[in-house]
Structure 1
């Protein structure tokens, strides 16, 4: 009898809190026969949704060939395979190279998105990255390290826009990051570091770019942390002046009348 084959599912685990996984992701974990998870980043707490009978593999020490081989073997055996990535798989998830290998083998797949750490950090901080007339752009990026970035996307170039900026995978390069950000935003600009956001060890540290390097070193933060900078960090509920048109009683749109009519 031929085994029924099921598409491989890439699932975004979210930022770490098991309850911040999507409902669809949770259900997929519950139904999985085998879960291959990125153990260097995905907390084991997220695996609480797996069945006791589910086989679990930690891919932290596996290379691409070993991961794909494990997926292919389970798939051909008719097992429901989940590839569990941290945050959202589309962001620094290295899923496309896995997808390419699956396509070569004609193995079907689907992807379930997840909450990335930048948005979990904003929730923890009670902030908005896109405040009217302050910033309407959010840039998610990283410093070049062992993995290079295109020259047109170097941090200095992106920082020159002075948009809301969240830097991933770069806390170990904090001296260089701080130097670049100071040149663009100014030494006294507000910034924040979000460490293991949504997890029990979470730390949100507010500081200035002038103090950023020293604070990170004093707190001994060396991994799993975001660096957040932008003019929105200078705005508090007391200093908020500009408000959106969305809830302005004088602003008319397709769902509400008002004294001002606009399509924006």
Structure 2
């Protein structure tokens, strides 16, 4: 048997890859994080699939289900919100599987920040405005951030900044970013991108915290900061499509 770690995408049932859907249909057991997942995603599973919501389970309890399925010779679909490469506890889970000699593989998914950018109609890298994207989080009720990854250090680059798991601290984060990005820097907050209750808030570092508070957002939101978030951002034409360059290909 194999445990298939599958990126469930941002939530919409039609934003999974073809491979992900195939694995969901063929796996007798499916573990999923009910906190962030649209229930419609589970419709890709076969009617007889055993469905296990992991939102109230710790990693050892999750591992017990995986070991049990292994002993029964059953493949498992382990759904991760977004893409397994970001904040999915993939390392902790696969380490436990390796200890039990259980095979596993990974199927990528649409990350939350990409779904948020699509909803905003935004390109995160705009020629001669910004060419880098920083994906990070902040520390609240979570594991400590490495000393070398202080938010102030990232802010000095003025790259497009994507903050995960940070919505409850948005006021203090906005205050911290003003020094490098400027008080008028555009900010977008996207809640549950692609799901029926999705919500988009647009503002600046000055007013975005008030909007978040008014909307009552406490989880499942991505914060995007940077000049690329402006709906009227101006830029030069990309060198890739310069007429002179195209003629000499």
Superposed pair shares fold, TM > 0.5 = yes
| Aligned mates of 1:113, 1:172 — CA distance in 2 | 28
How far does the alpha carbon of each residue in 1:61-103 deviate from its partner, in whole angstroms, 9 at most, with x for none?
A: 1111110111011011011111111000110000111100100
1:235 Cα offset (Å): 5.5
How many residues are matched? 248
Structure 2: gaps spanning 5 or more residues: none
| 1:202 alignment counterpart | 198
- 8 Å CA contact retained: 1:38, 1:58: yes
> 1:143 and 2:138 equivalent?
yes
The two structures have a TM-score, normalised by structure 1, of: 0.91
The two structures have a TM-score, normalised by structure 2, of: 0.96
> 1:243 and 2:237 equivalent?
yes
How far does the alpha carbon of each residue in 1:88-134 deviate from its partner, in whole angstroms, 9 at most, with x for none?
A: 01100001111001001111100001001100011111110111111
| 1:98 alignment counterpart | 93
1:221 Cα offset (Å): 1.1
Match of 2:68 among 65, 70, 73: 73
- 8 Å CA contact retained: 1:160, 1:184: yes
- 8 Å CA contact retained: 2:82, 2:112: yes
Displaced runs of 4 or more, over 4 A: none
Structure showing greater radius of gyration is: 1
Q: CA RMSD in A?
A: 1.2
> 1:257 and 2:248 equivalent?
yes
Match of 2:33 among 32, 38, 57: 38
1:235/1:205 CA distance change after superposition, 3 Å: closer
Larger relative contact order (C-alpha < 8 A, sep ≥ 6)? 2
| Aligned mates of 1:186, 1:78 — CA distance in 2 | 57
Match of 1:158 among 149, 154, 157: 154
| Aligned mates of 1:207, 1:228 — CA distance in 2 | 11
Match of 2:208 among 207, 212, 217: 212
Structure 1: gaps spanning 5 or more residues: 1-5, 259-264
